[in-house]
Amino acid sequence: MIITLLGGAGLMGAGIARDLLSDRAIVDFATLRICDAVRPRMEALAAELADPRVALVDLDAADPGALAAALEGADICINCVPTLLGHQMAIFEAALAARVPYLDLGGLGVYTVKQKAEHARFRDAGVTAVIGAGADPGMSNVICRAVADELDEIDAINLYWAAELVGDENPVLMPPYSISTVLAEYAHPSTQFYDGRHVECPPMSGVEVLELPEPWGRCEFMHSPHSEQLTVPLAAGIADKGIREFTWKLHLPHREHEAWVGLVKAGFGAYDDPVEIGGVKVKPLDVLSKVIERNIARNAERMPAQDSHEIHFAIGRGRRGGVEHVVRIEVVVTPDPLYQGYTDACTSMNGAIAAQLILKTPRRPGVWAPEEYFDIPSYFAELEKRHFRISKTVTPAA
pLDDT for residue 84: 80
Query: Is it the case that residue 13 has pLDDT exceeding 90?
Result: yes
The percent helix, strand, coil of the chain (3-state, each to 5) is: 40, 30, 35
Q: pLDDT > 70: what percent of the chain?
A: 100
Is the distance from CB of 263 to CB of 183 less than 8 angstroms?
yes
Give me the mean pLDDT over the 148-165 stretch. 97
Average of per-residue pLDDT values in the chain:
96
pLDDT beyond 90 at 54: yes
pLDDT score of 3 more than 80: yes
Tell me how far apart the alpha carbons of residues 93 and 102 are, in angstroms, rounded to a whole number.
10
pLDDT of residue 304: 94
* pLDDT over 90 at 134, yes or no: yes
Band of the pLDDT at 86, cuts 50, 70, 90? Answer: confident
User: At CB < 8 A and 24+ separation, what contacts does 283-289 make?
Assistant: 285/179, 285/180, 285/183, 288/179, 288/263, 289/179
* Cβ(9)–Cβ(42) below 8 Å: yes
Q: Where are the alpha helices (DSSP H) in the chain?
A: 11-20, 39-49, 64-71, 88-98, 112-116, 119-125, 139-149, 179-187, 228-231, 254-263, 284-298, 345-360, 370-373, 376-385
Q: What is the pLDDT of residue 343?
A: 85
* Spacing of C-alpha 300 from chain mean position: 28
Q: Tens of pLDDT along 162-212?
A: 999 999 999 999 988 889 889 999 999 999 999 999 999 999 999 999 999
- pLDDT exceeds 80 at position 306: yes
H/E run at residue 280: strand 280-282
Please report the DSSP string for 362-385 in residue order: ----EEE-HHHH--HHHHHHHHHH
Q: What is the pLDDT of residue 41?
A: 94
Answer whether residue 321 shows pLDDT above 80.
yes
**Whole-number Cα distances in Å, 344 to 11, 135, 276, 395:** 8, 9, 35, 33
pLDDT at 324: 98
pLDDT (mean) for 24-45: 96
Asked whether residue 398 carries a pLDDT value surpassing 80, the answer given is no
**Which pLDDT score is estimated for 161?**
97
pLDDT digits (tens, 9 = 90+) for 352-370: 999 999 999 999 999 999 9
Q: In the predicted model, what is the mean pLDDT of residues 270-295?
A: 94
* Domains of the chain (ranges, CATH numbers): 2-135+344-383 (3.40.50.720), 139-341 (3.30.360.10)
Write the DSSP symbol of residue 394. Answer: E
Q: Is the pLDDT of residue 82 over 90?
A: no
